[in-house]
Structure 1
Amino acid sequence: MSTAKHRMRDKKMRNQPINVTYSSPGQGSSHWRNGGHTPTGQGHDLSPHPRGQGSSHSGHSQGGGWVRGHQRGGQGGYPQDLPKYITASAFAKARAAEVNAMLKAVTKTTGSSHVFGALPKHMRRRAMSHDTKRLPCRLRDTANNMLEKSQKAGQKVKKEQSKRKSRKARRRHGNMLLEFNRRQRKNLWLETHIWHAKRFHMVKRWGYCLGDRPTYKCYRACCRAMSSHCLLQDMSYYCCVELQGPEEQLLATLSKLTSKEAGPTFAAAMCVSGRRQGSVVVYRAEQYPLQPLGPVTFLWRPRTQGRGQDDQGSQGSTHRQLWIWAHPTMKPDLLPELQAVCQCSEAVLPPAPVELPVPQPALAPTSTPAPTPTLAHGPGACPEAEQASGSGSKRKWSSGEREAAGPPAKKLLGNSTTSATTPVTWRSCTTGIVISDLTMEMVRYRLIGPLSHSVLTETLAPATHCDAASKAGPSPFWWSDHCRDDCNMTLHRQQAGVFNILKGVYSTAEVPAGSVLGLTVDDPRLTLPNKRSMAVSDIRKEQGENEERRRELMLKGIPEHLSQSSLWDRSVRDNVTHNKMTDQELNRLRNDVLVPGSRLPTPLQGRVPVLLVQQSGKSQGTEMGSWGTGWDLLLPKAWGMAFWVPLVYRGVRIGGLRMSLKHAQNK
Structure 2
Amino acid sequence: MATNGSRQPQVSTALPPRTLNVQKFAESRSSELETLHSIIANRLNNDFRSRRSKRRRTTGYDNRTAKNRYRKKQKLGVVDASNDVASEKDEKKPPRHIRRKLELKKNPEIGFCTSGDGTKRLRTHVWHAKRFTMTKLWGFHLPLGLQGRGTGSRALLKRLKHGVLMHDASYYGAVQLEGPEDSLLAVLSIVLVSSPSAHSEDISHSVLSGVIYRNAMLHHVGAPFSCPIAPVTYMWRPSHQQYVGVDGDNNTDGCDKPQKINNCSSSRQLWVWIHAASFREGHNALKFACQKQMDETGILISCISLEGQLAKLEVMGSRTCHLLQMMLHPVTCILENSWQLKKCSVVEADGETRLKNFSIFDSEDHTSSSAIISLKVIDPRALTEKRVAVAPEAKSSSILGHVRNDEINGHMNLADNPNKKSELHSSLWSKPEEISDLSECIDLWDVSNGFDPPVEESVLCMEKQHQQLDFFRLGNKNLGAANVSSKGRCSRFCPIMLLKNDNQKGSVIRWSVILPLSWVKAFWVPLVSHGAHAIGLREKHWIACEGGLPYFPSDFPDCRAYSCFMATEAAAADKKEKLRPPAVRCFNVPIPPPWDCVRFAFDKKSSTLGDAQSHFEELYAKNTVDCNSFTKSDCENCETAALGSHVVSSFEGFVVRTSYMLSEFLNNINGEHLLLFPNMPDGKKRISKFMKDEGKLSCQNRAISLLNYDNKLCFLRVLLHAYKKGVFEEGAVVCAPHLTDITLWMSRSGSNDGEILLPQSSLRSFFVQQPSGKWELQIPDDPVARESHRWPIGFVTTGFVRGSKKPVAGAMCEAVCLARLREEQWNSMPVKQRRMEIFVLVRNLRSTAYRLALATIVLERWDEDLEYV
Normalised to the residue count of structure 2, the TM-score between the two structures is 0.38
Larger radius of gyration: 1
- Of the two structures, which has the highest relative contact order with CA contacts closer than 8 Å and spacing of 6 or more? 1
